[in-house]
Amino acid sequence: MSTQLLNKFWEVVIAAITLNPEAFRMMEGFPQGNRSIFILLLLVGLSNALAQAIVLFVNRVSRLRFVLCLLISALLFAFSYLFWVLSIWGVSNLLFRADVQFGVVYRTLGLATAPLLLSFFIALPYLGIPVQILLSLWNLLAFVRGFSITADLTLWQVFWCGIIGWFVLQVAQRSIGRPVAGFGKWLSNTAAGTYLVTDLRQLEETLQTGFGNKRTHRRRRR
């Protein structure tokens, strides 16, 4: 990607973050649009992985494995997002007769993730959950705004398309998607070289145990 094209790409991404509808029109005529969206999804996945980096710290992962885990998390996010695209594409065509191509849905939903580039702020103490909710709503607004343009649907049709598509995605993840999720978890654990503790209660217990061991060690040194 040339410097000029890269600058144009970031202009489109920033426009999508500000919920500018022109961003989604521009992406449809953007050179190497599919490739650009995949890069955006990787960056969003990396930002999300950075927000979850505390999991790697708690599990005492080495630096090399730490970087490897971040890259794998970014790839898993990008590929898993295709299931969301597939569900929206199916719902919009079957229920709302949108007659929209899969590539259009892929580019639109991918660009709508632009606000999630700020996902690393989820790691902020005490503000993580509010930031996560804000970014989710921001992402939803970008999706509704963009898909209503590229699919030529009303805002309410797009809204219900998203709701039904999300429900379809949840069902798929809990059925045919389980082997894929299991493979992703295995891949992450393999890259980390250990079983990653991701459960919130387990993380809390691990943190308390770690801090307790440090305090005990300091007392012994005194």
Across the chain, the runs of DSSP E, i.e. the strands, are none
Average confidence (pLDDT) over 29-46: 90
Q: Which of 82-86, 117-121, 130-134, 178-182 comes out lowest in average pLDDT?
A: 178-182
Which one is predicted more confidently, 218 or 98? Answer: 98
The residue-averaged pLDDT of 160-174 equals 79
pLDDT classification of 63: cutoffs 50, 70, 90: confident
Evaluate if residue 189 carries a pLDDT over 70.
no
Task: Give the model's pLDDT for residue 211.
Answer: 45
pLDDT over 90, % of the chain: 26
Average pLDDT, the chain: 79
Position with higher pLDDT, 72 vs 208 = 72
Q: What pTM did the predictor assign?
A: 0.77
pLDDT digits (tens, 9 = 90+) for 124-135: 777 778 888 899
pLDDT at 56: 65
C-alpha 69, offset from chain centre: 15
Percent of the chain with pLDDT over 70: 72
pLDDT confidence of 192, banded at 50, 70, 90? low
**DSSP helix/strand/coil, 107:** helix
- At residue 1, does pLDDT exceed 60? yes
| CA dihedral of 145, 149, 152, 156, whole degrees rounded to 10 | 10
What pLDDT was estimated at residue 131? 86
Instruction: Look at residue 44 and give its three-state secondary structure.
Output: helix
